[in-house]
Structure 1
Amino acid sequence: MGERLPEKVRTLADAPTYVTLATLQSDGSPRLTVLWIERDGDDLLLSTVRGRAKERDIDRDPRVALMFLDQHDPYSYVEIRGTATLTEEGGRDLIDRLAVKYTGEPYKWDGPDAIRVVIRISPTRVLTTG
């Protein structure tokens, strides 16, 4: 069973807050990517395109971490550690919802052959400061 998200995290995830995703590269070193996020209960959803480095990292090792930085208080942040799963189901719908949330319009930057993947993170540890 995953960890429940505190109200502070739910509020940040429901707002257009940018997050930094940490994945592990094949040599064990971390890779950081800034992404848009959506919440599904206590799980967190992100989007990528099939074949990108973060998708390959997660496919090889599903351990991830996320950092939310509160834009109104830079000394207040949240770190979430968890396990990620990947699915193509709902991938296009998710990126369109995220784009509307963050930019006000549907996503329009993918090429015609892009296959959207949903990254679902189930938290195993939530750390908050501030």
Structure 2
Amino acid sequence: MLLPFTTDPFTAPTDRDMLPSERREFVRTHRTCVFGYRRRNDGPAMSVVYYVPTDNDELLVSTQAGRGKGRFVQRDGKVGLCLLDERWPFTYLQVYADAVVERDRCLVVDVMMAVGERMSGEQLGADARPFVEAMADKEDRVVIRCRPYATYATPPRHLAGHDQAEGLTHWVSGTVPWDAPDPS
């Protein structure tokens, strides 16, 4: 089941690293990411996209079948998503995932409807569905289903409220398995 769009995304703590449960909540309550994958030549390919989380912690991305994202996933299946917090102080959470391409038309249209809601900030009415279905067919849309297996967090840090950089702290984060428990 697709999770609904939230207007109140998780706010990352500014005084410590995010707990594993907080990382998962960040993923569930945000909507944009940089979708990255390896290229045969040059550096990694990256695209800013909307994603839709599911109740079983998958991240769904809509794309055209002929685009690089879909072709790559069929060839390799390992992707990175850099989830963006749209509020200042800016933070991000990188998600490492196994990915597959899904062609189920109902899922494709459901994800496109959910992306439309995230883009507009409003629920789309049922009257929009026929137009979205036609767009899905015309653009040969697919869904990339991403199953996270690890995350890497970067804390939100800035100088606001500080006369100088003295006292500003940073810490080292690390890669954490997706299903890691919080420390006791």
How high is the TM-score relative to the length of structure 1? Answer: 0.81
- Superposition CA RMSD, Å: 2.4
Larger Rg: 1 or 2?
2
Match of 1:42 in 2: 57
Write the letter of the residue equivalent to 2:114. Answer: R
Q: CA deviation at 1:101?
A: 2.3
Between the two proteins, what is the percent identity of the paired residues?
A: 23
Alpha-carbon separation, structure 2, partners of 1:32 and 1:63:
13
Q: Structure 1 62/12 Cα, relative in aligned 2: closer, same or farther at 3 Å?
A: closer
Unpaired segments ≥5 residues, structure 1: none
Match of 1:33 in 2: 47
Q: CA deviation at 1:13?
A: 3.7
Residues 58-79 of structure 1: per-residue CA shift (max 9 Å, x gap): 1111110000121223442100
- DSSP 3-state at the match of 2:97: strand
Q: Structure 1 12/62 Cα, relative in aligned 2: closer, same or farther at 3 Å?
A: closer
How high is the TM-score relative to the length of structure 2? Answer: 0.59
Write the letter of the residue equivalent to 2:69. Answer: K
Residues 104-127 of structure 1: per-residue CA shift (max 9 Å, x gap): 345759375222211111112111
Corresponding residue to 1:118 among 135, 143, 156: 143
Unpaired segments ≥5 residues, structure 2: 1-19, 156-184
Corresponding residue to 1:95 among 107, 112, 122: 112
Kept in 2, the 8 Å contact 1:43–1:121? The answer is yes
How do residues 1-130 of structure 1 correspond to structure 2 at under 5 angstroms?
6-15=21-30, 17-27=31-41, 29-40=43-54, 41-89=56-104, 90-103=107-120, 104=122, 105=124, 106=128, 110=135, 113-130=138-155
Kept in 1, the 8 Å contact 2:109–2:136? The answer is no
Kept in 1, the 8 Å contact 2:99–2:147? The answer is yes
Q: CA deviation at 1:8?
A: 4.1
Alpha-carbon separation, structure 1, partners of 2:146 and 2:61:
8
Residues 1-58 of structure 1: per-residue CA shift (max 9 Å, x gap): xxxx63344345434x311000122337310011011111221111111111111111
Larger strand share, 1 or 2:
1
Alpha-carbon separation, structure 1, partners of 2:96 and 2:137:
34
